[in-house]
C-alpha cells in the first residue's frame, strides 16, 4: 500500500511540475548583435548633463506641487513632467546599451 502511495505521489509531482513552470515569468532575452565585439561606452558627459537636468526638473516639480496644494497650478508643469519622462527613458537606454 505504501509503495502504491509513493508511486502515485511521484507521478503526480512529475505531472504537476511542468504545469507549474508555465506560470513562471520568462526572463528577458539578452540580444547581442556582435557578441565578439565590446559594446560602445555611453557618453559620460551627456549622461551627467542629462542626470543633472533630470534632478533639477525633479526639484522644480516638487516646488510646483507645493503650489498646487495652495490652489495654484504652474503653467509649464505638464512640459516638465514630459521632459522628465523623456530624460529618464534616454538615460535608461544609454545605460542598457
Domain boundaries, the chain: 44-97
**Which has the minimum average pLDDT: 25-34, 38-47, 86-95?**
25-34
Instruction: List % helix, strand, coil for the chain (3-state, nearest 5).
Output: 70, 0, 30
* pLDDT recorded at residue 51: 92
* pLDDT recorded at residue 65: 87
Residue with more model confidence, 21 or 41 = 41
Mean confidence (pLDDT) of the chain: 77
Instruction: Tell me the C-alpha distance between 39 and 61, whole Å.
Output: 35
Residue 45: pLDDT over 70: yes
Which uninterrupted H or E stretch holds 67?
helix 44-69
Amino acid at each position: 500500500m505504501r509503495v502504491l502511495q509513493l508511486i502515485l505521489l511521484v507521478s503526480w509531482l512529475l505531472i504537476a511540475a511542468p504545469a507549474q513552470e508555465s506560470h513562471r515569468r520568462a526572463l528577458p532575452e539578452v540580444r547581442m548583435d556582435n557578441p565578439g565585439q565590446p559594446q560602445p561606452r555611453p557618453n559620460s558627459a551627456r549622461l551627467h548633463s542629462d542626470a543633472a537636468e533630470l534632478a533639477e526638473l525633479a526639484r522644480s516639480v516638487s516646488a510646483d506641487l507645493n503650489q498646487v496644494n495652495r490652489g495654484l497650478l504652474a503653467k509649464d508643469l505638464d512640459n516638465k513632467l514630459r521632459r522628465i519622462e523623456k530624460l529618464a527613458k534616454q538615460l535608461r537606454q544609454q545605460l542598457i546599451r
